[in-house]
């Protein structure tokens, strides 16, 4: 799948590895939600989501992550989470649905 200017979600490893890149917004949600939900529901292993290339995320992106958390097999592992995405997860009250694998990639809090 070719990424668009707004962003995209690429899946590999039988759907258990998701790579989000660019702006993960309502446009990406509209394009990919049905497929990602189906993939999450059929996953036999925990889903790992690489967020290191995400430049923006809104409620559409949160909804995609929520599907991984509620339809997948166990708490998804979020990798390379930018500080702004971590803040969004915390403010939305859903951070406890995920395992955060490492420190935020934006170290602007130091």
pLDDT at 103: 61
Instruction: Say if 94 falls within a structural domain.
Output: yes
Instruction: Say if 103 falls within a structural domain.
Output: no
Range of the domain at 37: 6-98
Residues of the chain by 3-state class (helix, strand, coil), percent to 5: 40, 25, 30
**What is the value of pTM for the model shown?**
0.85
CATH assignment of the domain containing 23: 3.30.750.24
Instruction: Say if 73 falls within a structural domain.
Output: yes
Instruction: Say if 107 falls within a structural domain.
Output: no
Instruction: Say if 58 falls within a structural domain.
Output: yes
Query: Is the per-residue pLDDT at 104 higher than 80?
Result: no
- What's the pLDDT band for 14 if we cut at 50, 70, 90? confident
Number of domains in the chain: 1
């Amino acid at each position: 799948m070719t990424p668009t200017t707004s962003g995209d979600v690429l899946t590999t490893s039988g759907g258990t590895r998701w790579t989000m890149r660019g702006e993960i917004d309502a446009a990406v949600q509209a394009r990919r939600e049905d497929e990602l939900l189906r993939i999450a529901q059929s996953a036999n292993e925990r889903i790992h989501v690489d967020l290191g290339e995400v430049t923006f995320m809104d409620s559409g992106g949160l909804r995609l992550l929520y599907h991984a958390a509620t339809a997948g097999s166990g708490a998804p592992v979020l990798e390379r989470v930018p500080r702004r995405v971590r803040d969004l997860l915390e403010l939305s009250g859903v951070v406890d649905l995920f395992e955060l694998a490492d420190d935020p990639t934006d170290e602007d809090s130091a």
